[in-house]
Amino acid sequence: MCVELGGKAFHAKVVRGEVLERGVLDYAKMTGLSKPLRDALTERAPLLAGTEVARSTSRDGTTKLLIDFGAVEGRSGAVETVHIPPRELGGPKGATLCVSSQVGCAVRCPFCASGKLGLARNLEPHEIVEQYLRGRALGNLSRSVVMGIGEPLLNFPNVSAALDVVHDDLGLGARKVTVSTVGFPDRLRQIAPRKPRFQLAISLHTPFDEQRDELVPAMKGVPIDDVLSAADFWFETTGREVTYEYVLLAGVTDTPEHARRLAERLRRRRCTVNLIPFNPVSDSEFARPSSDAVDRMFRALTERGIVATVRWSRGVGGGAACGQLRIRANAR
């Protein structure tokens, strides 16, 4: 493109370096290019495909961007990207970026806002990378989670192509990126031998098959045993432990019986359970458990030898916590 517009081939390298290494997102600031070339590039080869249509920052500094990648067939192409600054001294130096993998979601978990409108389309690799470029402009990143809108394994070729750029060119090393999925067993078995560089998190949410059919509708009929054995295969093949995410819905997934059965299912597996107290979403039939109930669940698991953590989501006030991401432009 640079050559086509009257520049030299090495100018493309200059642009790449400016964008990927220095985070410059505007040709006008690339002083290594002539003014006519900068102008021509601005016009003919825009650096960013999307438009920031909204930004909100909650009290704890978590910033949510609503980025519109353009409507297709009348459906909005807006997704959310969340920049979560480091919490405490001694923790990671940079922020965590939560990125979306699809516009909408086909999984339709009843406790999550993202799937309420169904799936509009897959994000393209450059649209996923762009979320990183925009996120990095808000402050250095040290980690990233593909836990925004969408189910990454249902758009895996694009997610994977984008993560290659993120690992190779944006410097987020292996293990610094976590991909969260409902855990389609056949897909996990296909992907594991390719030794992906990311960490895997599986949204399990319950140890009971009938209940999982309701909480994760796209996995209806897939026994939890199949998900766990695919996760075991992942661990054996990649050498990386799997994290199980578990949303705590008051009275629904936080009972002693749930803890007992979950511990039984995970016994002798090297893994971590990440308990996520439900973040309220509007018109939801679910409620967040009390902190005592969260503690009880945590203790019930750890007493049985299960490694557990609790994720008190940040950004709850700004509507940017897990499950609160929603395609507002479409929802109105």
Confirm if 108 and 125 have CB atoms less than 8 A apart: no
What string of DSSP letters covers 255-291? SHHHHHHHHHHHTT--EEEEEEEPPP-TT-S--PPPH
Between residue 243 and residue 282, which ones bind ligand SAH under the rule CB under 6 A?
A: 245, 247, 276, 278-279, 281
Q: How many CA atoms lie within 13 A of 259 on its CB side?
A: 22
Between residue 156 and residue 195, which ones bind ligand SAH under the rule CB under 6 A?
A: 180-182
Shortest-Cβ-distance residue relative to ligand SAH: 323
Q: Is 322 in the site for ligand SAH (CB under 6 A)?
A: yes
Active site residues: 80, 322
Name the residue among 312, 271, 304, 307 with its Cα closest to residue 288. 312
Query: Shortest gap between Cβ of 142 and ligand SAH (angstroms)?
Result: 19
Q: Is 122 in the site for ligand SAH (CB under 6 A)?
A: no
Nearer to ligand SAH, 234 or 278 (CB): 278
Nearer to ligand SAH, 80 or 151 (CB): 151
* Site map 78..117 versus ligand SAH, x via CB under 6 A: -----------------------------x-x-xx-----
Give the interface size with ligand SAH as a residue count (CB under 6 A): 18
Distances (CA, A) of 53 to 44, 138, 159: 22, 16, 23
Nearer to ligand SAH, 63 or 274 (CB): 274
Residue 199's SS3 state is strand
Which residue from 147, 159, 200, 259 is in contact with ligand SAH, where contact means CB under 6 A? 147
Q: How many CA atoms lie within 13 A of 155 on its CB side?
A: 28
Nearer to ligand SAH, 33 or 247 (CB): 247
Q: Is 200 in the site for ligand SAH (CB under 6 A)?
A: no
Confirm if 81 and 100 have CB atoms less than 8 A apart: yes
Name the residue among 124, 130, 123, 121 with its Cα closest to residue 166. 130
Partners of 5 in the beta sheet? Answer: none
Chain residues that interact with ligand SAH, rule: CB under 6 A: 107, 109, 111-112, 147, 151, 180-182, 203, 245, 247, 276, 278-279, 281, 322-323
